[in-house]
Chains A and B, each alone.
Chain A
Amino acid sequence: EAKPVEQLKTFLAKTRSLTADFKQVLINEAGNPAQTTYGVFYLQRPGKFRWDYQKPFQQQIISTDGKVWFYDTDLEQVTVKKLGDSVGSTPALLLSGDIVLEDNYTMEQQGVDGDLQWIKLLPKSQDSSFKYLTIGLEKGDLSGMELSDNFGQLTRIYFSNIKHNPTINPTLFKFEAPKGVDVFSE
């Protein structure tokens, strides 16, 4: 059976597009879940992704053509940033497979529990906005991600209901600002 790092590369290579439900849990320093959000993740290579946060609040992070739109419904605000400087882009950027893993991350097999393999990716660049990111694969398929912020606080993402290489409606990757919403671009 291929080593986890190889499985990750194989997964990325054969994934042209993907949709999945996700649950995102913020673990506070005391190790307890502080905030849980739910939504749907869309990926279309090259370079398009969409995090659609649905509960308990609505936010959308949409990336296309090298830009990232961040829209918070309650805040009625949209910020548009270049892909590189957008803080929220790194994990999805990694999944979108547009970057060569070995050039940007050192990769270590983190551990195996049952048929869940974790791979730890440490950013080679210093100015990365996170210390490390681990990706969980189950039988070679994406199952989870974990990011540690610069205070050691963890954000865990659990994927489910994953569909591989579906055709995704392209409008999902186009952002139309609703009327009356402030739009700020770099």
Chain B
Amino acid sequence: CNTVEVIPDGSYSRAVLANSPPLPDWALEGRMSLSGGKEAWSANLLWQHDPAHDELKLSGPLGQGATIIRLQGETVSIDRGGGNVQTSAQPEAFINQQLGMDVPIKALAYWIVGLPATEQAYVDMPSGFRQAGWLVEYKQMQTVGRRVLPRKMTVMNGQAKLKLIIEQWVIKGEDGH
């Protein structure tokens, strides 16, 4: 369906991304790892985004221990299946407390498509930018239809380091999706 062609020098250019047409709903499939916080783990990641909400599904190698994070405005819920759902109005604190994942989840929804979060200051860096105390770096980009989107990125602050690999992007309405 889409051409996953890794750009040779894989260089990130915020300008290119800022000028490309705004992204409609998207979904991605990949993997993520977290270290430095209370614990270290890695998981398969399925992420579905539309302007109103984000849904992240994390699971182990054989789909086990699946957990879904749903984010809608300021409300976050963590669903472990079988009716075990917990909700909070403090997304960042709740996700950190529940999953040991100290990451600004709302900003991550922007960072993952290669852009700083809106209405917040940022500083350009060679292969990314710095925002809200986090260093976001894009190690590799990939071509998705006519767009350029991240394939490998890291998000770090003093304590936590998040690594993300995006195997496949699915952009609604583009490339036969």
A17 interface residue (CB < 8 Å to B): no
Q: Is the CB of A72 within 8 A of B42?
A: yes
A34 — which chain B residues lie within 8 A by C-beta? 29, 46
Main secondary structure of the interface of B (DSSP, over half): strand
Given A70-B61, A130-B64, residue A182 in contact with residue B35 (CB < 8 A): yes
8 contacts between A and B (CB under 8 A): A56-B167, A75-B32, A88-B61, A90-B62, A90-B64, A149-B64, A151-B81, A153-B63
Q: Is the CB of B66 within 8 A of A153?
A: yes
B80 interface residue (CB < 8 Å to A): yes
**Which residue of A34, A74, A79, A91 has the most chain B CB atoms within 10 A of its CB atom?**
A74
Given A75-B163, A76-B163, residue A155 in contact with residue B152 (CB < 8 A): no
Contact with B along A152-173 (1 / 0, CB 8 A): 0111010000000000000000
Q: Is the CB of B29 within 8 A of A149?
A: no
In the bound assembly, the distance between CA atoms of A87 and B58 in angstroms comes to: 12
In the bound assembly, the distance between CA atoms of A77 and B163 in angstroms comes to: 9
Chain B: number of interface residues, binned into ranges? 20 to 34
Task: Apart from A35-B167, A59-B61, A79-B40, list 20 A-B contacts with CB within 8 A.
Answer: A35-B29, A57-B165, A57-B167, A61-B61, A70-B61, A74-B31, A74-B152, A75-B31, A75-B163, A77-B40, A77-B163, A87-B60, A87-B62, A90-B64, A91-B62, A147-B63, A149-B63, A182-B40, A184-B35, A184-B39
A19 — which chain B residues lie within 8 A by C-beta? none
Interface residues of A (CB under 8 A from B): 24, 26, 34-35, 51, 53, 56-57, 59, 61, 70, 72, 74-77, 79, 87-88, 90-91, 129-131, 147, 149-151, 153-155, 157, 182, 184
A149 — which chain B residues lie within 8 A by C-beta? 59, 63-66, 81
Residue on B nearest A149 in the bound complex, by CB: B66
In the bound assembly, the distance between CA atoms of A149 and B66 in angstroms comes to: 6
B32 — which chain A residues lie within 8 A by C-beta? 75
Q: Which of B59-87 contact A (CB under 8 A)?
A: 59-66, 68, 79-82, 84
Q: Is the CB of B60 within 8 A of A88?
A: yes
B41 interface residue (CB < 8 Å to A): yes
A131 — which chain B residues lie within 8 A by C-beta? 82
A157 — which chain B residues lie within 8 A by C-beta? 62
Residue on A nearest B165 in the bound complex, by CB: A74
B131 interface residue (CB < 8 Å to A): no
Q: Is the CB of B64 within 8 A of A129?
A: yes
B64 — which chain A residues lie within 8 A by C-beta? 87-88, 90, 129-130, 147, 149, 155
B33 interface residue (CB < 8 Å to A): yes
B46 — which chain A residues lie within 8 A by C-beta? 34
**Minimum Cβ distance to chain B for residue A185 (Å):** 9
Which of B39, B62, B80, B167 sits near A155, CB closer than 8 Å?
B62
Contact with A along B26-40 (1 / 0, CB 8 A): 000101110100011
Q: Which of B1-45 contact A (CB under 8 A)?
A: 29, 31-33, 35, 39-42, 44
In the bound assembly, the distance between CA atoms of A150 and B80 in angstroms comes to: 7
